[in-house]
A = this chain, B = another copy of it.
Amino acid sequence: MSVYGGIEAGGSKFECAVGTAPDDLHALETIPTTTPGETIDRVVAFFERAGPVAAIGIGSFGPVDADGDSPTWGYITSTPKPGWANTSIAPELQRRLSVAVAFDTDVNAAALGEHRWGAARGLDTFCYVTVGTGIGGGAMAGGKLLHGFIHPEFGHMRIPHDLEQDPFPGVCPFHGDCWEGLASGRALERRWGRSPAELDGDPRVWSLEAQYLALGLVSVVYVLSPERILVGGGVMRHPGLLPLVQRDVARLMNGYQHAPTIMLPALSPRSGVLGALALAESA
């Protein structure tokens, strides 16, 4: 069995791993995301120490260019993150480590990881939604990671904004009260003036959050028809939120079709880096 490398390239940290499977990791390192130059230097140094590997998979924060035919394949493209717009990730590592590299979004990598070893094993069409600072989504359709025109984003859908209960205008710089604008961790923090972790005791907070999350998931259900929806990310770690979301999705669907199973990912918080490892096989 070949040894692969996996990188979950995140906005705050790069998780790097070498191994063959979740129970056979030879090395694991968390590198803080600073400048592209420094961060990538440290990633290269990690693989030089922990390698050799047959190939490397990268699941990256975005927006990314994951189109294999594009001249900027493997780049982070138009991110507002200072210094990171138009950064070569995959070609740079390919060149410096002389190894084949596969590249996809962080959420598609997480979906792949859950498909291989976690809560989506044996499924054909499912999605992975992460509710953290932002809201993102990855999906597999008919057994293949979904790319399409750019790649799924999920977070920027419009949902009904409950203005009576919630006059908060939303935090998305592009859309104001889109799904991410209303229901991301950043929205929670801005609306209530405290971080999600500090909001534990207030039921109003979580019933509104569940309502908004469910409204977005219902659109996911009706467009993609996933067999299962995995919801991960920091916000979903709030105890009791998942059952509220499940209840609200069922209430909103109101008996028109069965709701798919909605559950937490099994590999969290390593779905992404393990998925990147699985992705390496396709390099």
Contacts and interface: CB of A to CB of B under 8 A. Distances in A.
Interface of A: 63, 124-125, 137, 139, 141-142, 144, 146-161, 174-175, 215, 218-228, 252-258, 260
A160 B161 contact: yes
A174 to B, nearest CB: 4
A5 B17 CA distance: 54
Nearest to A125: B148
A127 to B, nearest CB: 8
B223 A156 contact: no
Given A156-B253, A175-B254, 13 more contacts: A63-B257, A125-B147, A137-B223, A141-B148, A146-B225, A147-B225, A152-B224, A153-B225, A155-B222, A156-B222, A174-B254, A174-B256, A219-B223
Contact of A160 (B146, B149, B160): B160
Given A158-B252, A218-B158, A223-B223, A142 B146 contact: yes
Contacts of A160: 158-161
A219 B222 CA distance: 10
A224 to B, nearest CB: 6
A226 B148 contact: yes
A65 to B, nearest CB: 12
Contacts of A223: 137, 139, 152, 154, 157, 219-220, 223-224
Contacts of A137: 223
B149 A260 contact: yes
B219 A158 contact: yes
